[in-house]
Chains A and B, each alone.
Chain A
């Protein structure tokens, strides 16, 4: 049972990180559909770095940097050249699929050591929950820290409120004197960093070797999670755990030989995404104050 819960948590961490990063970008008004691409880059960056430097922690750094690099490409085009965000994000994913395929080709067949678990002194001795919650790897702790930080940042910090203002009405934010483009750059790059680490987590913990397109749609599910969470950070945890649970449930089902064809079981995470989006979108359209009003709209004013 412990093992099952641990796998569910591990499966949900890439989703959690990527969705949190995207949430910040979207709060600033940037819709980056390139999450899948940024995650792939993070994965290949991490694999390369670990094979080269033989220390899984460099994988996290390399993943973050790869994600930021991809987010910078997205930012140059959408923020500075004011291109359509939806199309550019798609382009980023297509670009990254090609780039990582090329960069990952020499890595095929090589396996990397996995990220070690860190026991937290005393807390990990708490019966039942201790060994689950306080015997995790560094990235798991980091992702929870990021979520807590983000919740406070958006609600109580001055920068957080400015970020939201930029996402809700960039014209007004600009007239009050806030550097809209610069803030969006930062937010998008933060999103890239989170997606990159989320991507890095896949080879570092889940499957320790490269295969083309190994993120398998997680970036897209992360995008859906932001909507599912109605742009509220802590709800991403709930959403990510549900999706982690569904993914593991179908794997368990296949392993135990449930009398349902494996392909139909594999559809579950994707179908669940559609169902979750449908349930939440109906509510959101009645109360759309949570959706950043400038989301996806390019800002034309100079700065």
Chain B
């Protein structure tokens, strides 16, 4: 039988090895399931993991898909580090996009790109307000934030559906549930590369990620706020004795993660859609939970994790087109990956010992 013996210190090797091993295990089990369900395992593997790299414009599309995942994942990192379980980023994403969209559509003639600062700020506020509901209920009345944040995802989905089919519907949309197109000032453009033109859908929103990752790294590792979050998550008792106010940390991380999810919503809609529609998110808020864990709850890790998961997402789109595999199949990989990543976390702290003898 197996017993676990605590290690004296966290194994540094495991921190690096665990994610790589987890990915290997995930691919192995994924293939097993595909074979069992009667799909060609090698072709599936090719479509999901290799085909996204087959052309340069596809590679840039990986970055485009990774963009919201990294932004949301970075916010969720703050929550998960401090043991606050915000799983409603999907709803915060939608509400951010919606509030920003409302402001963008209120100024139909605006052309200056400085207007984007306002819509992005509005997105932050929209997402943060939506996250404020579980935050205040958790801290004032001890209501479980997991369930509240999740229920609010359904509410947000229905709300944007109502707004787009009702008050904000474009009368010229021929009965389609679409808002008017955004004004020029609220659109995020694609990046032109001299001599090449556009690379797929690669847009300026990616700059936000390039800013966010170093800033969040600095915040987590070099500031008192980041320190408090780390202590609260890893040693709640110590945080209590040190006099850290748990409630204000809970509220802060929820507001920040909600806000970032909202910003991701604005960037996604302004860069890729250009108007409001009933479905704006496609599950980014849920996928980002996996991204945060795969990135080991640290900003640089999340950058890479976002790219890896975005690859799988794009690959699944390809597999759906070429092989008719439903694209929800990404969930299968994400789930298995999360299981093994979490197991890796246990193995960081414990040695496995095999022993003969009684069961």
A137 within 8 A of B: no
A104 nearest in chain B by CB position: B326
Bound: A224/B150 CA distance, A: 11
A93 nearest in chain B by CB position: B335
Bound: A281/B147 CA distance, A: 12
Check A94 against B286 for contact (C-beta < 8 Å): yes
Bound: A96/B33 CA distance, A: 12
Check A99 against B146 for contact (C-beta < 8 Å): no
- Within 8 Å CB of A263, what residues of B? 158-159, 161-162, 165
Over the window 258-292 of chain B, the binary record of Cβ atoms lying under 8 Å from chain A Cβ atoms (1 yes, 0 no) is 00000000000000000000000000001001100
Q: Which of B147, B158, B329, B342 contacts A102 (CB 8 A)?
A: B329
A99 nearest in chain B by CB position: B332
Check B142 against A285 for contact (C-beta < 8 Å): yes
Check B328 against A101 for contact (C-beta < 8 Å): yes
Tell me, rounded to whole Å, the shortest Cβ–Cβ distance linking A166 to chain B: 19
Tell me, rounded to whole Å, the shortest Cβ–Cβ distance linking A138 to chain B: 30
Within B315-359, which residues are at the interface with A (CB < 8 Å)?
324-326, 328-336, 338-339, 342-343, 345-346, 350
Q: Please, how many residues of chain A have a CB less than 8 angstroms from a CB on the other chain? A: 49
Q: Which of A94, A227, A278, A300 contacts B141 (CB 8 A)?
A: A278
A132 within 8 A of B: no
Check A97 against B159 for contact (C-beta < 8 Å): no
Bound: A93/B342 CA distance, A: 15
Task: Give the A-B contact count at a CB cut-off of 8 A.
Answer: 151
B207 within 8 A of A: no
Tell me, rounded to whole Å, the shortest Cβ–Cβ distance linking B257 to chain A: 15
A261 within 8 A of B: yes
A101 nearest in chain B by CB position: B328
Bound: A274/B144 CA distance, A: 10
Tell me, rounded to whole Å, the shortest Cβ–Cβ distance linking B33 to chain A: 7
**Would A81 and B343 be within 8 Å (CB), given that A261-B162, A264-B158 are in contact?**
yes
Bound: A283/B54 CA distance, A: 58
Task: Mark the stretch among A4-12, A83-91, A145-153 that contacts chain B.
Answer: A83-91
B152 within 8 A of A: yes
- Within 8 Å CB of B137, what residues of A? 274, 277-278, 281
Tell me, rounded to whole Å, the shortest Cβ–Cβ distance linking A245 to chain B: 18
A109 within 8 A of B: no
B353 nearest in chain A by CB position: A302
Check B335 against A98 for contact (C-beta < 8 Å): yes
Check B37 against A103 for contact (C-beta < 8 Å): yes
B3 within 8 A of A: yes
B343 nearest in chain A by CB position: A81
Over the window 102-146 of chain B, the binary record of Cβ atoms lying under 8 Å from chain A Cβ atoms (1 yes, 0 no) is 000000000000000000000000000000010001000111101
Q: Which of B144, B166, B324, B335 contacts A95 (CB 8 A)?
A: B335
Bound: A87/B346 CA distance, A: 13
Check B346 against A91 for contact (C-beta < 8 Å): no
A272 nearest in chain B by CB position: B151
Tell me, rounded to whole Å, the shortest Cβ–Cβ distance linking B166 to chain A: 6
Over the window 60-82 of chain A, the binary record of Cβ atoms lying under 8 Å from chain B Cβ atoms (1 yes, 0 no) is 00000000000001000100111
Q: Which of A33, A84, A101, A267 contacts B159 (CB 8 A)?
A: A267
Tell me, rounded to whole Å, the shortest Cβ–Cβ distance linking A105 to chain B: 5
Check B326 against A212 for contact (C-beta < 8 Å): yes
A201 within 8 A of B: no
Check A90 against B338 for contact (C-beta < 8 Å): yes
B278 nearest in chain A by CB position: A263
- Within 8 Å CB of A87, what residues of B? 80, 293, 338, 342
Check A91 against B338 for contact (C-beta < 8 Å): yes
Bound: A77/B25 CA distance, A: 14
Q: Which of A90, A91, A284 contacts B142 (CB 8 A)?
A: A284
- Within 8 Å CB of A95, what residues of B? 331-332, 334-336, 338-339
Give 8 nearest A-B pairs by CB, closest first: A95-B335, A98-B331, A98-B332, A101-B328, A91-B338, A83-B342, A263-B162, A285-B142
Chain A: residues with CB nearer than 8 A to chain B? 33, 73, 77, 80-84, 86-88, 90-99, 101-103, 105, 212-213, 217, 220, 223-224, 227, 261, 263-264, 266-267, 270-271, 273-274, 277-278, 281-282, 284-285, 300, 302
Chosen A-B contacts, 20 in total, with CB atoms closer than 8 Å, are: A77-B343, A83-B343, A83-B345, A86-B85, A86-B146, A91-B339, A92-B335, A93-B335, A94-B289, A94-B335, A95-B336, A98-B334, A99-B331, A213-B328, A224-B144, A263-B159, A270-B154, A270-B155, A277-B144, A281-B143
Starting from the known contacts A77-B339, A267-B154, 15 additional A-B residue pairs (CB-CB under 8 Å) come to: A82-B346, A91-B338, A91-B342, A93-B335, A94-B331, A95-B339, A105-B326, A212-B328, A220-B151, A224-B151, A227-B144, A264-B162, A270-B154, A277-B143, A277-B147
